[in-house]
Structure 1
Amino acid sequence: MTLVAIEAALAAGELLRQGFGTNFSISSKEGRHNLVTEYDHKAEKLILDFISQNVPNSHFLAEESGFSGKDKGGICWIVDPLDGTVNFAHQIPTFAVSIAAQRQGKIISGVIFLPITHELFVAEIGKGAFLNGQEIRVSQVRSLEESILATGFPYDLAKNPFHCIDHFTDILKVGIPIRRMGAAAIDLAYTAAGRFEGFFEVELAPWDVAAGKLLVEEAGGKVTSWDNTLFDIHSRATIFASNGHIHNSVSAILNRTV
């Protein structure tokens, strides 16, 4: 299962790498900055076709095509063919392919591939998390003063900016630096690898977080909602992923603005 996801992610990543910086069609979905390119569609078709050919009874939840295939009790593949579309469209080399396999409601494997840096993050439930074949663990930083967090903003931020601004500034007031990569899958992969101490965001879709959530957990981290309760990848609510050591302290700050 995981090997199929890896092969699909690598093939899609190579397609994206070849298309990066070329002329391609771009359109918007729900807002000016919620973009989709022809490479989102091409990469998604490649992934779904490859998995369908190699794993019978698969069905899919993918960003561009939604639900497809028949649920016959097999694997549900949760696919973001190009996380970081805005970056890709603006020739910013920070984007990823994200593929997760779900069985009976549980994510059992996850793959995130960054085509430009050629970093392949892989996790399998109960077997750990890996970057290019080397096991990774979350950061061991325990103090907020030494931490770096990542975040992102929803595409409809202009409709209700104050909620995002409040929790963003509350974190800054504590003195924690914040980075914004523009791709939640990368934020979660970097948290799993110990590059960030944590990541928080709101209104993310299942394909944004499914593979990354497993990566963080298999690397020894923790993933919850902002209020420290169980996080459901289908909820499109709040998510906070961390190394575990700073979880309660940051969760308390985030929960003040929910």
Structure 2
Amino acid sequence: MTTADPLSLHGPPLAAVLDPVLDQATSEIEAFRSGPELVRFKRSVHGGMEPVTELDLRLQDLITAALERAWPGLPVIAEEGRESIGPIPDDCVLVDPLDGTAPFLEGSPAFAIAVCLVRSGRPIQAIVDLPAYQLRVSVTDSAMTVTGDVDRLPTFAPDIVVTSPRHTELATRLLPSRPVAAVPTASVKMILVALGRARAAAYLPAARGSAAPWDYAAAALAVHAAGGEVRDPAGRDLARTRPARVDGWLATRHAPRPPGDLKPLMRPAR
């Protein structure tokens, strides 16, 4: 195996490498939907158990093979097969082959394929594919391209805060003056913000659970390219810092800064 030349990371655009693969992935998803759903459970990197399907594994293999052909020797850090989160290399690709497996199995459209190219410890290109919405978002450090009809996505009123289903009760207590809506899957929540379908989305710091780098890095770059920001509880901009495990995040399209009443969302849960 050859060693990746960091300069080669400026070579083929991520979209050029993955668009054909993601089209094939859509076919794989449709075939899985029409066949028997073979599901097993794995120990997640956060502890506890979560579902994984043969589809997750097939999509990961398809994406990884395409990336390795484009950038031989460049590490691919993919979700499936991992039981822990180690340090993220300076140059790598983060892959979540099916972000939102549980919602997908429940029939929800809120699932995504997310891939993020990292160079010198910082996200520089990303793709977030939302097959159920026939929507694909491709991102560079400063530009975003959307393929598909954004109107397929749900729209939330400007004062609504979107959060994970298991965090809605806590978010309502922390923000008594704000309505809260539940949307599963980190990538989907952030893309709603990036595309102006929601003004704010959050993953609350909790006693159990955190966000892995492949959960958020691609979609956080999309929010950044759209003029918004995603910050963790320490205030770090997740599109401008090395991807790592984070305890929570807040994505907003507010300018010049999020309303102060959203700050309680990033306080550690007790």
> Is the pair's TM-score, using the shorter chain for normalization, greater than 0.5?
yes
What's the secondary structure of 1:34's corresponding residue?
A: strand
Deviation digits for residues 150-201 of structure 1 (CA, Å, limit 9, x no counterpart): 2126xxx7xxxxx874334223x11223232x21111111110000111111
Instruction: Tell me whether 1:254 sits opposite 2:265 in the alignment.
Output: yes
Superposed, 1:184-195 pairs within 5 Å as: 184-195=186-197
- Contact 2:137 2:147 survives alignment (8 Å): yes
Please report how far the alpha carbon of residue 250 of structure 1 lies from its aligned counterpart in structure 2 after TM superposition: 4.2
Superposed, 1:214-229 pairs within 5 Å as: 214-229=221-236
Letter in 1 for 2:258: H
Structure 1 residues 167 and 152: CA distance shift in structure 2, 3 A: same
What's the secondary structure of 1:20's corresponding residue?
A: helix
Corresponding position of 2:145: 130
Structure 1 residues 130 and 248: CA distance shift in structure 2, 3 A: same
Please report how far the alpha carbon of residue 238 of structure 1 lies from its aligned counterpart in structure 2 after TM superposition: 1.3
- Contact 2:91 2:121 survives alignment (8 Å): no
- Contact 1:216 1:222 survives alignment (8 Å): yes
Corresponding position of 2:247: 237
Instruction: Tell me whether 1:199 sits opposite 2:201 in the alignment.
Output: yes
After TM superposition, the score normalised by the length of structure 2 is 0.76
Letter in 2 for 1:150: V
Structure 1 residues 7 and 244: CA distance shift in structure 2, 3 A: farther
Structure 1 residues 105 and 152: CA distance shift in structure 2, 3 A: same
Which among 20, 34, 40 is matched to residue 7 of structure 1?
A: 20
Instruction: Tell me whether 1:166 sits opposite 2:170 in the alignment.
Output: yes
Please report how far the alpha carbon of residue 17 of structure 1 lies from its aligned counterpart in structure 2 after TM superposition: 2.8
Instruction: Tell me whether 1:45 sits opposite 2:61 in the alignment.
Output: yes
Structure 1 residues 118 and 133: CA distance shift in structure 2, 3 A: closer
After TM superposition, the score normalised by the length of structure 1 is 0.79
Which among 64, 71, 76 is matched to residue 55 of structure 1?
A: 71
Letter in 1 for 2:173: T
Structure 1 residues 197 and 34: CA distance shift in structure 2, 3 A: same
Which among 91, 106, 116 is matched to residue 132 of structure 2?
A: 116
Superposed, 1:59-74 pairs within 5 Å as: 59-66=75-82
Structure 1 residues 19 and 213: CA distance shift in structure 2, 3 A: same
Structure 1 residues 169 and 20: CA distance shift in structure 2, 3 A: farther
Please report how far the alpha carbon of residue 60 of structure 1 lies from its aligned counterpart in structure 2 after TM superposition: 0.9
What's the secondary structure of 2:179's corresponding residue?
A: coil
Structure 1 residues 64 and 210: CA distance shift in structure 2, 3 A: same
Please report how far the alpha carbon of residue 33 of structure 1 lies from its aligned counterpart in structure 2 after TM superposition: 6.5
Which among 99, 104, 110 is matched to residue 94 of structure 1?
A: 110
**Could you list the runs of 5+ residues in structure 1 that have no partner in the other structure?**
68-72, 136-140, 158-162
Superposed, 1:147-186 pairs within 5 Å as: 147-152=159-164, 165-171=169-175, 173-180=176-183, 182-186=184-188
Distance in 1 separating the partners of 2:97 and 2:48: 20
- Contact 2:249 2:266 survives alignment (8 Å): no
What's the secondary structure of 1:35's corresponding residue?
A: strand
Letter in 1 for 2:228: G
What's the secondary structure of 2:104's corresponding residue?
A: helix
**Could you list the runs of 5+ residues in structure 2 that have no partner in the other structure?**
1-12, 84-88, 151-155
